[in-house]
Amino acid sequence: MSKFVMECPYCGRYVEASNFIFAKKKIDCVCGYTIDVRADKLKSVECAHCGNTVMIDQSKAEKAVCPVCHEPINTAVDMHRLAEFSCPSCSCKLTADKAAEKYTCPLCDTVIDVQAQLSKEKVKNKGVASVIKYEGDNDVFVWKHPIEDFNMGSQLIVHESQEALFFRDGRALDLFGSGRYTLSTQNIPLVNEIYKIPTNADTVFHSQVYFINMTTHMGIKWGTDSKVRLFDPASGLYIEIGASGNFNLRVKDSRKLVLKITGTGSEFSQNEIMGEGFAAGKFKPLIMNKVKSNLARVIKEENINILEIDSCLDMLSQKMQDIINESLDDYGMIMPEFYITTIVTPDDDPNFRRLKQQFADRTLKVREEEIRKAEAEAAQGRKILEAQTEAQLKMVGAQGEAEALKIKAQAEAEAYKMQAYAQAEEMRAKGYTYAQETARQVGLEAMQNGITGGTGGGGIGDIAGLGVTLGAMGGVIGMTKEALDPIMENSSRLGAGFGGAIADGGSDKWVCGECGTKDISSKFCPNCGVKRPEKIIGKTCPNCGKTGITSKFCPECGTKIPNETWDCENCGTKGIRSKFCPECGCKRGDEQ
């Protein structure tokens, strides 16, 4: 028996079989299915004549008939559903159903887009191309036009995202950017210069045209095929990590890419970058080598904690991108973005668990140190605040004490003044003056002590020795004028003499601030009875000018009083503490 074609029951492809007695009884289809010729040669088909679904024997070929209408059912027309094309990678001839979308080459495992390949074959079979344009998929970097013979005057169409490169005998020649070109010897000077193309429009010249896609190919996935061994210097432990992510890629130099990557191939697509399935990617070894050999080094140089590495992914991505681009430049490619999206840590590794525990302990210790430092600073702050508060309280206390002394002195002065006014008023009511009362009191004191002389020196000396004080007059304040008259007559003369002696002998006179009486030498004013003001003894406040201060702080403004004194060069007074000299009134620092 002759050979026949039968359909694979699994994928629908046609395979060749034979009825010869020694022929293979089992055939391997390109899809991997093993066809049993004796069993699978029977198939169910729909008769095109009667519409019934019937079973036929494929080994009968065109002799098979429908068991219902007895019309031929396995004619050559049915076989016309098969299409023949070449594998774009290994160029072997293949056959597949015309309606098929994908077909895997049994020799090189290339997944072929059947419809796209059939279109290329159709264009190629036309012979000379009159319009040259991009017929490939957008996922490709380089696409070679299937026709290599062109007429002068053919139209070249290059889109905005493309470049077209004319190639001849392994040399990259004229490069075209976006636009529409009518091929002539003027716009393909390199090709014309080398090969001397005739100007006849019917003349065919041979050249390959490569279209280069200049768009950025996004979201190409990558990942390390093995763990990266990393040494952590802080803990002294070795751990293994993995990394993965995405990157974007575009063509930088069309000539380099075609010469070094595409070569004589017809296409360079995105899935060839990292590879798919068992197919090796062209750039996968380069990317893996650069990442694995530099990732651990960069982590160590930048002193990145592996437990906090997620916060450093941007920096690591930029470092890896710069390193990889140095190598990609040789192939006319550039990686505008490179992303490390995931760092896989070995959570089950004892070393990694130990590293996490060490980091936790170290972090806790640092926090404790920070807390202790904060507490110490707070304690020091409290001490400073307490010291400042205590100093302020002492100042307030000193000011309060000075204010209390001031109030007490003012109260005593006011009480004494009121008492003096009362005594003077009482004496005026009884009909005698304070001077008369003073003279009378002095006379009484003199008589009681046996002093009878006039104004002689002995009498005056005796009077001075009496230590007469005005306090002695308190016992006679209540006496009436009539009772005092005999005594006044006997003592007036002596008292007058005593008063004169005091007036003549005393040089410390004063002026009454109440009634204006001048040259008073007694302790009380003889007209109104106001007590002689005490001589101011004390310090003067350098801030507000208050005088007579005996405390350490000024009772008016609370300023601390200095202990420094000065001597008046004008009058010779020494030990002065006030701003002005009490003798001559000269201001401190203005002495002449």
pLDDT, tens only, 307-362 = 778 888 999 999 999 999 999 999 999 999 999 998 887 777 777 777 777 777 77
Most confident among 394-403, 442-451, 468-477, 496-505 (mean pLDDT): 394-403
> What are the tokens at 325?
């681009």
Whole-angstrom distance between the N-terminal and C-terminal Cα of the chain?
156
Residue where a domain stops, chosen among 213, 228, 246 = 213
| Residue with more model confidence, 579 or 554 | 554
pLDDT, tens only, 490-520 = 444 444 444 444 444 444 688 887 788 888 8
Residue where a domain stops, chosen among 486, 505, 524 = 505
The predicted structure's pLDDT at residue 202: 57
Mean pLDDT of 372-396: 81
The predicted structure's pLDDT at residue 75: 56
Task: Determine phi and psi for 42, rounding to 5 degrees.
Answer: -90, 130
**Given pLDDT bands bounded at 50, 70 and 90, which one contains residue 563?**
low
329 with 223, same domain: the answer is yes
Residue 35 is inside which H or E element, if any? strand 34-36
In a domain, 264, yes or no: yes
In a domain, 91, yes or no: no
Residue 471 has pLDDT above 60, yes or no: no
Residue 291: which residues within 8 A CB-CB, separation 6 or more? 222, 224, 228, 243, 320, 324
In a domain, 98, yes or no: no
The predicted structure's pLDDT at residue 454: 45
pLDDT, tens only, 178-231 = 999 988 777 788 877 776 766 655 567 778 899 999 999 999 999 888 888 887
What is the C-alpha separation between 522 and 88, in angstroms, rounded? 142
| Residue with more model confidence, 286 or 43 | 286
The predicted structure's pLDDT at residue 459: 44
What is the C-alpha separation between 123 and 220, in angstroms, rounded? 31
**Given pLDDT bands bounded at 50, 70 and 90, which one contains residue 176?**
very high
500, 458 contact by CB (below 8 A): no
Most confident among 250-254, 279-283, 521-525 (mean pLDDT): 250-254
The predicted structure's pLDDT at residue 41: 80
Between 232-241, 438-447, 465-474, the lowest mean confidence (pLDDT) is in: 465-474
261 with 334, same domain: the answer is yes
221 with 209, same domain: the answer is no
Mean pLDDT of 121-146: 74
In a domain, 530, yes or no: no
The predicted structure's pLDDT at residue 352: 72
The predicted structure's pLDDT at residue 325: 93
Question: How large a percentage of the chain has pLDDT more than 90?
Answer: 10
448 with 337, same domain: the answer is no
| Residue with more model confidence, 421 or 176 | 176
148 with 233, same domain: the answer is no
233 with 283, same domain: the answer is yes
The predicted structure's pLDDT at residue 322: 93
238 with 328, same domain: the answer is yes
**Given pLDDT bands bounded at 50, 70 and 90, which one contains residue 81?**
low
What is the C-alpha separation between 499 and 477, in angstroms, rounded? 20
The predicted structure's pLDDT at residue 132: 86
The predicted structure's pLDDT at residue 214: 92
Residue 254 has pLDDT above 80, yes or no: yes
What is the C-alpha separation between 350 and 186, in angstroms, rounded? 72
Instruction: Tell me how many degrees the CA angle 512-514-520 measures, rounded to the nearest 5.
Output: 15
pTM: 0.45
The predicted structure's pLDDT at residue 74: 63
Domain residue limits at 59: 3-80
**Helix then strand then coil, % of the chain, to nearest 5:** 40, 25, 35
Which candidate, 73, 71, 19, 20, places its Cα nearest to that of 43?
Answer: 73
List of E strands, 252-332? 267-269
The predicted structure's pLDDT at residue 126: 56
The predicted structure's pLDDT at residue 476: 41
Residue 145 is inside which H or E element, if any? none
In a domain, 169, yes or no: yes
340 with 265, same domain: the answer is yes
User: DSSP alpha helices (H): ranges in 177-283?
Assistant: 189-195, 254-257, 271-274
Mean pLDDT of 577-588: 79
Residue where a domain stops, chosen among 213, 235, 252 = 213
Mean pLDDT of 105-134: 74
In a domain, 297, yes or no: yes
229 with 327, same domain: the answer is yes
* 257 burial level (CB within 10 Å; 0-12, 13-18, 19+): buried
What is the C-alpha separation between 359 and 339, in angstroms, rounded? 27
Most confident among 304-308, 468-472, 505-509 (mean pLDDT): 304-308
Mean pLDDT of 400-427: 74
Instruction: Tell me how many degrees the CA angle 41-45-50 measures, rounded to the nearest 5.
Output: 140
74, 56 contact by CB (below 8 A): yes
Most confident among 7-21, 336-350, 422-436, 530-544 (mean pLDDT): 336-350
In a domain, 589, yes or no: no
Q: What is the CATH number of the domain that holds 241?
A: 3.30.479.30
Q: Which string of DSSP letters, residue by residue, matches 157-169? A: EE-TTEEEEEEET
Most confident among 59-73, 219-233, 435-449 (mean pLDDT): 219-233
68 with 149, same domain: the answer is no
222 with 310, same domain: the answer is yes
Q: Under the phi-then-psi rule, with left for phi > 0, alpha for psi from -120 to 50, and beta for the rest, what region is 367?
A: alpha
Number of domains within the chain: 4
Mean pLDDT of 562-588: 78
Question: How large a percentage of the chain has pLDDT more than 70?
Answer: 75
> What are the tokens at 396?
């307030």
The predicted structure's pLDDT at residue 463: 42
In a domain, 469, yes or no: yes
- The average confidence (pLDDT) of the chain is 75
| Residue with more model confidence, 430 or 262 | 262
190 with 283, same domain: the answer is no
Residue 248 has pLDDT above 90, yes or no: yes
Task: Determine phi and psi for 162, rounding to 5 degrees.
Answer: -130, 165
What is the DSSP code (8-state) at residue 510? B
Mean pLDDT of 63-69: 81
The predicted structure's pLDDT at residue 503: 40
Mean pLDDT of 236-247: 84
